[in-house]
Amino acid sequence: MAKIELNKTYKGNCIELANTLENESIDCIITSPPYYNSSHKYQRGTGFHYTADVGEPLYVIQDVFEALKPKLKEDGIICLNLGFSYGETGVMRPFDIVNRLREKGGYFVNDVVIWHKNNPIPMQNRLTNAIEYIFILSKHPIGKYYTKKYTHNVWKFSVDGGGKGHSAVFPIDLPLNCIEHFTQENDVVLDCFMGSGTTAEACVKTKRNFIGFEINQDYIDLTEKRVEKFLNNFTEPSLFGNEM
């Protein structure tokens, strides 16, 4: 495969695409992996695993972050967004995943951010689930971020209302906040599960470079449209939107 270029999204399985990146070329990874709704089989080692099965998506995430480890700079940071569902696999799932990355992947868990949703879907006879996590991982402990203002680790913003042709879109403030705290201008930010391109849009808005991986061409088309739309109406980046 040709050398990876900046500010493009590549089609394919992120585990394979990860291997095409140059070593220590990525400053930050901001991503939200899929783990409930895909329907194909996945082979790991000699066995087949199904995406609906509790164990399998852990392996996808474990494998991609194993492949990405040499590609991340020594002081690079991963912002890994994970939510949970009561019905399917339980509230400990994000922690199970991160524990694997810690114990088997050798990553350090530098911080945990709680994304507090302003508009969660109300649940009857249960506590409405109004949070997701953003785990801040790194190869080594990091004591200082690029944060310029007082802030804390509960970030409040609304679930994106949709209309972007994708069912699990980040609110734009999520990657914007990560970019503000963990990157500098011209840094290279990878989203290995790019979806509709929210991370790409946040990067072009803030003068960061992005690289995207995405398995579905329709979503790559969406990403390209979002980036183009922003570049065609370009004005200086607005202040980072962070409702604390």
Ligand X SMILES: C[S@@+](CC[C@H](N)C(=O)[O-])C[C@H]1O[C@@H](n2cnc3c(N)ncnc32)[C@H](O)[C@@H]1O
Closest CB to ligand X among residues 114, 142:
114
Q: Is 117 in the site for ligand X (CB under 6 A)?
A: no
SS3 content of the chain, % helix, strand, coil (to 5): 25, 25, 50
What character string, x for contact with ligand X (CB under 6 A) and - otherwise, covers 214-233? xxx--x--------------
Beta carbon of residue 111, minimum distance to ligand X (angstroms, whole number)? 20
Q: Where are the beta strands (DSSP E) in the chain?
A: 8-11, 26-31, 41-44, 47-50, 72-82, 108-117, 131-138, 154-157, 188-191, 209-214
Beta carbon of residue 119, minimum distance to ligand X (angstroms, whole number)? 16
Give the list of residues 6+ apart from residue 22 with CB closer than 8 angstroms, or none.
Answer: 3, 4, 71
Q: Is 195 in the site for ligand X (CB under 6 A)?
A: yes
Identity of the residue numbered 105: G
List 10, 14, 181, 209, residue binding ligand X (CB under 6 A): 14
List 28, 29, 32, 210, residue binding ligand X (CB under 6 A): 32
Q: Are 161 and 7 in contact (CB under 8 A)?
A: no
Q: Which two tokens stand for residue 109?
A: 């868990």
Beta carbon of residue 193, minimum distance to ligand X (angstroms, whole number)? 3
Q: Are 103 and 96 in contact (CB under 8 A)?
A: no
What character string, x for contact with ligand X (CB under 6 A) and - otherwise, covers 133-172? ---------------------------------x-xxx--
Q: Are 109 and 136 in contact (CB under 8 A)?
A: yes
Q: Is 62 in the site for ligand X (CB under 6 A)?
A: no
Q: Using CB under 6 A as the criterion, which residues of the chain lie in contact with ligand X when the complex forms? A: 13-14, 32, 34, 38, 166, 168-170, 193, 195-196, 198, 213-216, 219
